[in-house]
Structure 1
């Protein structure tokens, strides 16, 4: 591990890992079943980096908390960007559920 990463808060590592999860999920969609090489490459690199940073964060955070926050960031980001980029439905119920995920992420962070 690069020495500067040992100085970074595990919560920041986890946040970046979550953002990279959004990147790989959206690039996976853009890969059209892995038939577009550039999008496939982005998917693989972002997924690897996301897992790597999650693994570093897990050195200091409980697995249940870290995994829930990581997947929560990915789910919220993918859902919101799906609405913006792919014209997926933005119903009140869907937005409310996304809000509940955000509340869960914040709760886990505050209770840690």
Structure 2
């Protein structure tokens, strides 16, 4: 169940990072509320996951999910660059996440 919590935590991390863009410096109330709720749930789920997953592994996977997911959504939602090097870098993050999971089994 800890791995499920960790994946959910990563998804909420993507949520708060994207919401942060929409808050426009915390001047828009609903995106700000979504940011706060997503951040709280992300950290809470991470804490639950870290009860059994080693902290180094859990934190690296949590940030990796957040970084890769936010980069991908940035390309989709905000028209950010999707050149080959950027996609290659995201792929490396995903490979790192998978390798950490495999090495923790």
User: What's the TM-score, normalizing by structure 2?
Assistant: 0.98
Match of 2:6 in 1: 14
C-alpha distance in structure 2 between counterparts of 1:11 and 1:57, whole Å: 6
What's 2:83 paired with?
91
Unaligned regions of 5+ residues in structure 1, if any?
A: 1-8
Give the distance between the partners of 2:81 and 2:38, measured in 1 at CA: 26
- Show the counterpart of 2:30: 38
Q: Deviations over 1:32-51 (max 9, x none)?
A: 01000000000000000000
Question: What secondary structure sits across from 1:59 in the alignment?
Answer: coil
Aligned partners of 1:93 and 1:49: how far apart in 2? Answer: 32
Alpha-carbon distance, 1:12 to partner: 0.4
Shift of residue 82 of structure 1? 0.2
Other-structure match for 1:61: 53
Partner of 1:70: 62
Displacement of 1:26: 0.3
Unpaired runs of at least 5, structure 2: none
Partners in 2 of 1:63 and 1:24 — Cα distance?
21
